[in-house]
Amino acid sequence: MLLIPCPWCGPRDECEFRYGGQSHIAHPAAPASLTDAEWADYLFFRDNPEGLFTERWFHAAGCRRWCDVVRHTADYRVLTSAPCQGGPSGGGEW
Partner 1 sequence: MTPDHRQTGRLWRSPEPRAGYDAVIVGSGGHGLATAYYLAAEHGMADIAVLERSWLAGGNMARNTAIIRSNYLWPASAAIYEHALRLWEGLEEELGRDLHFSRRGVLNLAQSTHEVRESVRRVDADLLSGIDAEWLEPEQVAELVPILDTGPHVRHPVLGATYQPRAGIADHDLVAWAFAAEADRLGVDLIQDCEVTGFLRDGDRVTGVRTSRGDIEAPRVGLCAAGRTSRLAAELGLRLPLQSHPLQALVSQLLEPVLDTVVMSSATHVYVSQAPKGELVLGAGIDAYNGYGQRGSFRTVEDQVAAAVELYPVFAHADVVRTWAGIVDVTPDASPVIGPTPVEGVYLNCGWGTGGYKATPGAGQVFADTIARGRAHPLAEPFGLDRFGTGALVDEHGAAAVAH
Residues that bind partner 1 (CB under 8 A): 1-2, 13-15, 18-19, 21, 36-37, 39-41, 43-46, 48-50, 53, 55, 71, 73-76
- Tell the smallest beta-carbon distance from residue 19 to partner 1 (Å): 4
For residues 38 and 15, give the distance between their C-alpha atoms in angstroms, rounded to a whole number: 35
E-assigned strands of 24-65? 52-58
Region 3-62 residues binding Zn ion, contact defined as CB under 5 A: 6, 8-9, 59, 62
Smallest gap from Cβ 62 to Zn ion, in A, equals: 4
Q: If DSSP codes are grouped into helix, strand and coil, which group holds residue 66?
A: strand
User: How open is the CA angle 9-14-16, to the nearest 5 degrees?
Assistant: 60
Closer CB to Zn ion, 25 or 63, in the complex: 63
Burial label for 50, CB within 10 Å (0-12, 13-18, 19+), is exposed
Look at residue 59 and give the partner it binds from Zn ion, partner 1, none, a contact being a CB closer than 5 to 8 Å depending on partner kind.
Zn ion
Binding site for Zn ion (CB under 5 A): 6, 8-9, 59, 62-63
